[in-house]
Amino acid sequence: MADTRMIKVLISGGLESSLLMGMLSNCDLKIESAPDMTAATEVPGDSGYGAVVASHLSEGDASALSGFLKRCGEPPLILVGKGPAPDYADTLHLDEGISADELVDACRSMALAASGAGADGVFDSRGLVGQSEGIRRVLNVANKVASTDSTVLITGESGTGKELIARAIHRNSPRRNAPLVVINCGAIPGELLESELFGHEKGAFTGAHRARPGRFELADGGTIFLDEIGDMSPDLQVKLLRAIQEKCFERVGATRSIHVDIRIISATNKDLALAVEQKRFREDLYYRLNVIPVIMPPLRERRSDIPLLAEHFMEKLARRTGMEKKQFSPEAMTTMTAYDWPGNVRELENLVERFSVLVDGNTVEKEDLPDHFSSELAGDTAQGVPLYCDVRHGVNFQESVEQHQKSLILQALNESNWVKAKAAELLNMKRTTLVEKIKKMKLEESSTSSAV
Ligand SMILES: Nc1ncnc2c1ncn2[C@@H]1O[C@H](COP(=O)(O)OP(=O)(O)OP(=O)(O)O)[C@@H](O)[C@H]1O
Ligand SMILES: [Mg+2]
């Protein structure tokens, strides 16, 4: 069981924060406070908070707070009084009139519940919805790997929940009270990524006015999540490999080596094995990262989760906006369940949000769905390429596979304005192979549509 004296509580909320501070001043919790949310969220997100207490948030505060909570490993949130609330699963709302003892008890029990999660062998899969065979398999691996220090590589299409699983693994690991540091290797320009990862010394390059630690140092004792690892440059791949193998690295411009104790989880939506084959990704690094593979199945391969997820997002939105929860008509749900969801769970989440805003009345009807949902099923998309096949009545396998290929290629070409090199990259395919397929399928720019 966690030692309550080590539980830190971050307090924010202007004048109210001093009242809360007063209430907590004589208890045995270790308190840290901040005068307002801007100051609070500037605290490095690595402090192993047992709970975060906040009150009287503004709209802007609420979204800053949710970013902060993510950065520091998703501790429970206790909100005192009324006002906007971040969209956050582990939240306890308390009345303004709460007594000091009640607040201390709430902090203690929330923090203990969170830190005890996973310690009793029960995997804490908070916020992760799904009961399909596919998601169970993922959770089973995540559960086994959480207690170890093994390196994990999470692969899967965009929007399948890779980051969510990475967070769950960290939350259920013995490192859960230390930071989970996330870095998106694809979003940071190559020349900056090295200093982001490993830090730099003062004067290491133009603009380096101060020495700065990198994410590896910030993650010491915890987990680093290297997102979109497939986008890393070859040079940096060499440095990362060394950092993983020897658990040490140098800041840019430094000679002294730094040793850290971190667990590495990485993720990609690219086919890394293919990238290795095509010499775009180092084979030795691939094997180092891929010790425990976790493969996120696309949503179309776990259709039974679609209704559960749709309900979950609708409920979440209703909670956030205070509006009544909308229902789905059986026809709408059947159509949604049959749709292929190329953007996976993220696409579903966004669509549900659109429904909650745009649909009048309490029920989402089939007619409220975007046009391509039905046309895809009917097999009459502009390309004549149905993505969904109902195997119950038998299918021509070869033909369906070819149609699916055609659909993917057209989507990639549309996405890249028919720049074939870019489309080939999206498909993880050689440009020459793509050109050959385009010729064989007799695809022309005019044969595309913006649908799908
Ligand atoms: N099983 C799930 N239950 C509830 N929400 C989910 C689930 N899977 C994904 N989501 C939600 O879908 C969105 C996309 O998930 P996430 O960011 O983890 O995907 P990703 O695989 O990392 O995507 P990308 O490759 O684009 O980075 C998030 O808002 C996440 O909370
Ligand atoms: Mg992601």
Residue 113 confidence (pLDDT) = 62
pLDDT, tens digit, 9 for 90 and up, residues 172-191: 999 988 889 999 998 888 88
Cβ of 134 below 6 Å from ligand 1 = no
Do 79 and 184 share a domain, yes or no? no
Give the model's confidence band at 38: pLDDT under 50 very low, under 70 low, under 90 confident, else very high.
Answer: confident
CATH of the domain at 442: 1.10.10
- C-beta separation of 406 from 383 below 8 A: yes
Do 155 and 274 share a domain, yes or no? yes
Do 179 and 254 share a domain, yes or no? yes
Is the predicted pLDDT of residue 253 greater than 80, yes or no? yes
Percent of the chain clearing pLDDT 90 (strictly above): 42
What average pLDDT does the segment 158-174 reach?
95
When mean pLDDT is compared across 79-93, 179-193, 425-439, the lowest value belongs to 79-93
Tokens of 418: 């028919």
Spacing, Cα 246 to ligand 2 middle (Å): 27
Do 311 and 424 share a domain, yes or no? no
Residue 212 lies in a domain: yes
Residue 128 lies in a domain: no
Do 197 and 245 share a domain, yes or no? yes
Q: Which ligand is nearest to the CA of 132?
A: 1
Q: Are strands 199-200 and 212-213 parallel, antiparallel or unpaired?
A: antiparallel
Domain tally, the chain:
4
Query: How far apart, in whole angstroms, are the C-alpha atoms of residue 182 and residue 174?
Result: 18
Highest mean predicted confidence (pLDDT) among 227-231, 318-322, 396-400, 444-448: 227-231
When mean pLDDT is compared across 120-129, 143-152, 205-214, the lowest value belongs to 120-129
Domain boundary residue among 295, 322, 351? 295
Residue 380 lies in a domain: no
Tokens of 189: 């320009």
Q: Which ligand is nearest to the CA of 162?
A: 1
Residue 378 lies in a domain: no
Domain boundary residue among 353, 369, 385? 369
Residue 119 lies in a domain: no
Spacing, Cα 164 to ligand 1 middle (Å): 6
Residue 193 lies in a domain: yes
Percent of the chain clearing pLDDT 70 (strictly above): 82
The DSSP result for 377-425, as a single string, is HHT-STTS------GGG---HHHHHHHHHHHHHHHHHHHTTT-HHHHHH
Nearest CA among 17, 171, 161 for reference residue 90? 171
Residue 7 confidence (pLDDT) = 58
Do 285 and 200 share a domain, yes or no? yes
What average pLDDT does the segment 202-222 reach?
90
Is the predicted pLDDT of residue 1 greater than 50, yes or no? no
Do 137 and 277 share a domain, yes or no? yes
Spacing, Cα 64 to ligand 2 middle (Å): 19
CATH of the domain at 21: 3.40.50.2300
Domain with 322 in it: 299-369
Query: How far apart, in whole angstroms, are the C-alpha atoms of residue 23 and residue 366?
Result: 53
* Closest Cα to atom 13 of ligand 1: 346
Residue 98 vs residue 319, higher pLDDT: 319
Per-residue DSSP letter, 7: -
Cβ of 164 below 6 Å from ligand 1 = yes
Residue 452 lies in a domain: no
- Which atom of ligand 1 is closest in space to residue 268's alpha carbon? 25
Cβ of 344 below 6 Å from ligand 1 = no
Do 34 and 97 share a domain, yes or no? yes
What average pLDDT does the segment 253-277 reach?
94
Do 255 and 150 share a domain, yes or no? yes
Do 140 and 227 share a domain, yes or no? yes
Give the model's confidence band at 117: pLDDT under 50 very low, under 70 low, under 90 confident, else very high.
Answer: very low
Which residues neighbour 136 within 8 Å (Cβ) at sequence distance 6 or greater? 130
CATH of the domain at 284: 3.40.50.300
* Closest Cα to atom 26 of ligand 1: 158
| Residue 151: Cβ within 10 Å count | 17
Element housing 52 (H / E): strand 51-55
- Which atom of ligand 1 is closest in space to residue 312's alpha carbon? 4
Our mutation pick for probing the ligand 1 site, out of 158, 160, 164, counting the most ligand atoms within 8 A of Cβ, is 164
Residue 363 lies in a domain: yes
Residue 375 confidence (pLDDT) = 63
Domain boundary residue among 63, 79, 114? 114
Query: How far apart, in whole angstroms, are the C-alpha atoms of residue 444 and residue 405?
Result: 15
| Residue 34: Cβ within 10 Å count | 17
Spacing, Cα 168 to ligand 2 middle (Å): 13
Do 105 and 20 share a domain, yes or no? yes
Do 329 and 221 share a domain, yes or no? no
CATH of the domain at 342: 1.10.8.60
Residue 46 confidence (pLDDT) = 59
Give the model's confidence band at 452: pLDDT under 50 very low, under 70 low, under 90 confident, else very high.
Answer: very low
Which residue stretches of 73-185 are H helix?
A: 100-116, 133-146, 162-171
Give the model's confidence band at 3: pLDDT under 50 very low, under 70 low, under 90 confident, else very high.
Answer: very low
When mean pLDDT is compared across 36-50, 123-137, 201-215, the lowest value belongs to 36-50
On average, the pLDDT of the chain sits at 82
